[in-house]
Every structure is written in C-alpha cells, then in structure tokens.
Amino acid sequence: MPMNSNDIKTVQSLLSTSKSIVIVPHKNPDGDAMGSTLALCKYLNAQGHTAVVVAPNEYPHFLKWLPGNDDVIIYNATTKIATQKIESADLIFTLDFNDFSRTGDMEQVLASASADFIMIDHHQQPSNYAKVTYSDTSMSSTCEMVYHFLDALQATDHIDADMAACLYTGIMTDTGSFRFPSTTAITHEVISKLIAKGADNSHIHRNIYDTNSHTKLQLLGVALKNLRILPEFKTAYITLTQKELDDHNFQKGDTEGFVNYGLSLKGIIFAVIFIENKADNIIKMSLRSKGDFSVNEFARTHYHGGGHTNAAGGKSDLSLKETVDQFISILPRYKDKL
C-alpha cells in the first residue's frame, strides 16, 4: 500500500529540521539493500542532514562501484564508530528488511537506540518498531519504494544521476532484470524516469553481471554438477561444501544467482541451494519458487528464515548431509502444493 497522508506528514515533520541520520540495510546486503540506502543517503545529505549508511557486514565486490560506497560504515569492521553513530542518531531509516534480527550483530544496538525509526521495506510480516512503517509486499524492490517515498515528498526533482544509478541497480537485481512477477507497469515507469535522470542502464548491467572471476565460473560448474532433481516434487537442489568454496577462492557474492539455475529447468517450480559455512557453523540456504508455492512460509516453518513468496532464505544447524536428508524428508508433506 502507498504511504498514507498521516505518515507523509510525520516524515515531513521529522525531516523539517536538520537531523543526524543513520540508514541501515540488512545483513549480507544485496543490490536492493545497498542501492536503496545509498540513494536515500545522498538525498538526505543534499537536504542539509548528516546522513550515513551503516551496513551490518561487508557486501559483494560487484556492488562496490555504487556512488557513495566509500562512505559506508561497516558495523562488523568498525563496531565502535558504527555504534556511536547509531547511539547518537536522531533518526534511523531501516531499508529492505522487516525485523532487527535481520541485521545480525547489530540487533541489540538498534533495539536500544533512542532515535525514531522509519522503515521502508517490501518483505512480509513487518515488525512494529518504527514511527513510520512504509511496508508494501507487492513492491518489486525497496529501491522502487524509495522512488515512491521521494515522490510522496514531492522530491523526485532531487534525484540526480548517482541516485538514479543506485535505485536502478536495486530494481534490476531484485526483479531478476525485470522478469519476476513483482515487475509491474509502474516499475517500468520508474525505470524510465531513472534512465531519464541519468542512470546508464547498459553500464549498470555490465557492472553487476559481467565482472565474474574465472574461479567463480568454475564454482558455478561445480554447483551445476552437484544439482539434483526430485521430479515427483518438481524440486531441484544444489549443494556446495566449504571445501568446494575454498578450492575456488570463494568471495562474498560469488554464489549469488546460482539457485536460479535449478528453477530454469523445465517443469521445476521449487529450487534450493545449500551452502556450507564452517565459520558460522551453519548451512545457509536460498529458496526460490514459481507460482503460488510460498518459500517464505517454507523457510519460516523449517529454517528460521523468511523473505517473499518466490524468494526466501534461511539456515540449518545440522551438517550439510543431514540438512539435505531432512529437506528431502519434509517434501512429501508439500506434495499437494508442489
């Protein structure tokens, strides 16, 4: 749902005097999380506020070209400075997530902050911590919502080429390059306006998708070799062990998008990737679906996770083999939905 007029008034009043503002994306930020926070940050600084993006942890190299990247504070790397910023902030925007727990180690610092909160997010079941909660699960991306947010403030004239590039990036990555069902005519209208404002679409696609390392492509080869199909459940899954990652000089973001290869198989409507993470002692999972099968519900029920109907994440504390065995044992319960 769009922001109501009361919320718009509250935001206008919160921004009517110069504020110290922190903008927070979720842990393991993706293109939408970084694009939305950096675009909003540039806008707020141009309006005379002192705004900074504080990300819970590092993000992939293919997002490092985003305008404003150099000023991002990484909580895990410089915890003291980040904590100070949060504690002294008047206002905190949380973007592209629905609960403090999605910020990992930052959860407690945010929960005890004295600032007012504004949430802008498109995930299901938002928590209730913000003075203004702009939540719309029908939206393609938080970046599209930031555009609508600025529109509600009658501020789209302030979108420059840098901000346009940030917003374009998040809409592009969260819609799988404009192919997921969340992509609407309005999404394309927003994209059109962003290109008109200077977003170099072709350049952005190349920056995000054409900067692979040779080892990353070889890791993709391993993932595809490991792909298994369960035709009776229209399901495909991929596994990657820590050793397979180590043998291919794994860098953050290298496995982004791998899960979609499962979903590209004819007749498959549910795809999962299980990635072993020895440092955190977990199996990290990405889940994707086509149609009505809700991976949000599946991840919430079985894997301490969540997300959207067709894209979600979660984790398991079992070993990789045990996790996969358990996953296979759960599927019969969903036979009528798959």
Q: Which residues of the shown chain bind Mn ion in the complex (CB under 5 A)?
A: 32, 96, 142, 174
Residue of 148, 135, 163 whose CA lies nearest to 47: 163
Told to check if 139 binds ligand 5GP by CB under 6 A, we report: no
Which among Mn ion, ligand 5GP, none contacts residue 313 (Cβ within 5 to 8 A by kind)?
ligand 5GP
Record the tokens describing residue 237, joined without a space: 């899954």
Cα 44 to Cα 4, 18, 48, 155, distances in angstroms: 21, 9, 7, 11
Residue 305 within binding range of ligand 5GP, rule CB under 6 A: yes
Report the residue from 313, 323, 324, 327 that binds ligand 5GP according to the rule CB under 6 A.
313
Instruction: Report phi then psi at 118, rounded to 5.
Output: -125, 125
Partner touching 305 among ligand 5GP, Mn ion, none, CB below 5 to 8 Å by kind? ligand 5GP
Are the C-beta atoms of residues 61 and 211 closer than 8 Å to each other? yes
Q: Which residues have C-beta within 8 Å of that of residue 62, sequence separation ≥ 6?
A: 207, 208, 209, 211, 253
Q: What pairs with residue 42 in β-bridges? A: none
Q: How far apart are alpha carbons 103 and 2 in whole angstroms?
A: 25
285 and 299 Cβ atoms separated by less than 8 Å: yes
Residue 276 binds what, of ligand 5GP, Mn ion, none (CB under 5 to 8 Å, by partner type)?
none
Q: Which is nearer to ligand 5GP, 36 or 159 (CB)?
A: 36
Query: Between residues 115 and 295, which has the closer beta carbon with respect to ligand 5GP?
Result: 295
Cβ-Cβ contacts under 8 Å for 23 (sequence gap 6 or more): 37, 40, 41, 44, 51, 52, 53, 54, 92, 93, 95
State the maximum Cα–Cα separation within the chain, in Å, rounded to a whole number: 60
Using rule CB under 6 A, residue 311 touches ligand 5GP: yes
**Could you give the CA distance from residue 74 to residue 60 in angstroms, rounded to a whole number?**
13
Minimum CB–partner distance for residue 273 and ligand 5GP (Å): 8
Q: Choose which of 60, 142, 308, 324 interacts with ligand 5GP (CB under 6 A).
A: 308
Binding residue (CB under 6 A) for ligand 5GP from 38, 263, 306, 338: 306
Instruction: In whole angstroms, give the CA distance from residue 296 to residue 309.
Output: 5
Both tokens assigned to 86 = 């949060």
State the Cα–Cα distance between residues 299 and 314, nearest whole angstrom.
6
Helix (H) or strand (E) holding 163: helix 161-174
Report residue 13 as tokens.
């009043």
Among 37, 94, 140, 286, binds ligand 5GP (CB under 6 A): 286
Smallest separation, CB 315 to ligand 5GP (Å): 6
Residue 194 binding target from Mn ion, ligand 5GP, none, CB below 5 to 8 Å by type: none
Closest to ligand 5GP by CB, 232 vs 317, is: 317
> How many residues in the shown chain lie near ligand 5GP by CB under 6 A?
12
* For Mn ion, the closer CB: 109 or 172: 172
Binding mask 83-112 for ligand 5GP (x = CB under 6 A): -------------------x----------
286 binds, among Mn ion, ligand 5GP, none (CB under 5 to 8 A by kind): ligand 5GP
Q: Does 314 bind ligand 5GP (CB under 6 A)?
A: yes
**Based on CB atoms, which residue is closest to ligand 5GP, 246 or 280?**
280
Reported residue count of the chain is 338
What residues line the site for ligand 5GP (CB under 6 A)?
26, 102, 286, 305-308, 311-315
